[in-house]
Chain A
Amino acid sequence: MMIYLWAFLIGGAICVIGQLMFDVLKLTPAHTMSTLVVAGAIADAFGIYDPLVKFAGAGATIPITSFGNSLVHGALTELERDGWIGVVTGIFDITSAGISSAIVFSFLAALVVRPKG
């Protein structure tokens, strides 16, 4: 049950960082999200994102930083397995579930939903 507490605390903390980037640094949402993704990617490069995932579970995998983490993960895993070409083929390996479902569900929603105003 402790994992739920840590998921709440770490997930919330990452969102607070995002909020501070909005309010204090006055960044646009797009700049904030891009920065967080790159931060997640760099964190994985130094191998510090995985321990965070083990520790906080969904608190680390649900924020957008985990997207950067997964991109690097995919690239490095296939780099090891297939050599240099893996850097290109592996990038979207793990994030495919997220990107594909976001595309498909959004498209279906656009087909079904009547826009309001």
Chain B
Amino acid sequence: MPAKTKKSGVKLKLDTLTPQDYDKLSKPFVPARPVFKNCIRAFIAGGIICVIGQGVQEAFMAIFDMSSKEAASPTVAVMILLSVILTSFGVYDKMAQWAGAGTAVPVTGFANSMCSAALEHRAEGLVLGVGGNMFKLAGSVIVFGAVAAFIIGIVYLILGVDGGAHT
């Protein structure tokens, strides 16, 4: 839409404003991010989520007599279930506003991104909406993780590095 700035005599060339110019113009008006406060919040929230995870893991180890390695997968599944429930009630997103990366970085944030995409696109149908959009955000994590793992696997294969430490 062509802005009629010339008429009012404003010499800001809105039509030719590049994103860089915009950044330069708006910079004095953008509030500085409270980096320190955000980091403290992320630390506390992330730490608490990991402590809950540790509690779930210890519970699996005690009740089902599992080793810590065996208990890791069910623990992740339980954390994801909790995250999906909290996301469904709209609680997780409220927490995320306070905690920032503290709720995004744990695996619960991964589940949250999938669940909220599924809920958001529910109206577009199960196949195109839920199925098609679930991995909108989580997809990049899986793609880059899988490609990185593949490359590392190939490097190990070529170099013949003994992966004995990995069993």
Chain A residues packing against B (C-beta within 8 Å): 3-4, 7-24, 29-30, 32-34, 36-38, 40-42, 44-45, 47, 50, 56-59, 61-64, 66-68, 71-77, 79-80, 84, 86-88, 90-92, 94-95, 97-99, 101-103, 105-107, 109-113, 115-116
Contact = CB atoms under 8 A, between A and B. Distances in A.
A84 B49 contact: no
Contact of B148 (A19, A72, A97, A107): A72
B50 A10 contact: yes
Contacts of A32: 101, 104-105
Contact of A19 (B38, B79, B108, B134): B38
B33 interface: yes
5 contacts: A11-B53, A30-B140, A62-B108, A67-B141, A113-B122
- Which interface class (under 10, 10 to 19, 20 to 34, 35 or more) fits B? 35 or more
A74 B145 CA distance: 12
Given A72-B149, A98-B80, A101-B76, A107 B118 contact: yes
B115 A87 contact: no
B53 to A, nearest CB: 4
B76 to A, nearest CB: 5
A63 B46 contact: yes
Given A9-B47, A11-B47, A34-B141, A58 B54 contact: yes
B51 A7 contact: yes
Contacts of B117: 106
